[in-house]
């Protein structure tokens, strides 16, 4: 959905589970700068401006769609 990459989808899932960007970066083995770049890309692709908007949008999607690449 929204043309998210696999990494971006994983990031959204982690944020929905309550992880911070920093925690996600450590778990995913990427730099915080990379994770923040992924957040910016997700916000652009989803047409949202803030994490809260993104999480509301993601929560409204059926579970199967939220994990598609």
State the Cα–Cα distance between residues 60 and 66, nearest whole angstrom: 9
What is residue 5's three-state secondary structure?
coil
Question: With the C-alpha atoms ordered 22, 6, 53, 47, is the resulting torsion angle positive or negative?
Answer: positive
pLDDT at 1: 75
- DSSP letter at 6 equals H
State the Cα–Cα distance between residues 46 and 31, nearest whole angstrom: 23
Total-model pTM = 0.84
pLDDT at 63: 65
From first to last of the 69 residues of the chain, give the pLDDT tens digit.
799 999 999 999 999 999 999 999 999 999 999 999 999 999 999 999 999 999 999 999 886 454 444
């Amino acid at each position: 959905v929204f043309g998210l990459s696999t990494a971006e989808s994983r990031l959204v899932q982690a944020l929905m589970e309550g992880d911070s960007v920093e925690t996600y970066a450590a778990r995913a083995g990427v730099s915080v700068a990379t994770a923040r770049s992924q957040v910016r890309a997700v916000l652009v692709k989803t047409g949202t401006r803030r994490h809260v908007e993104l999480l509301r949008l993601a929560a409204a999607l059926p579970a199967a769609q939220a994990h598609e690449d």
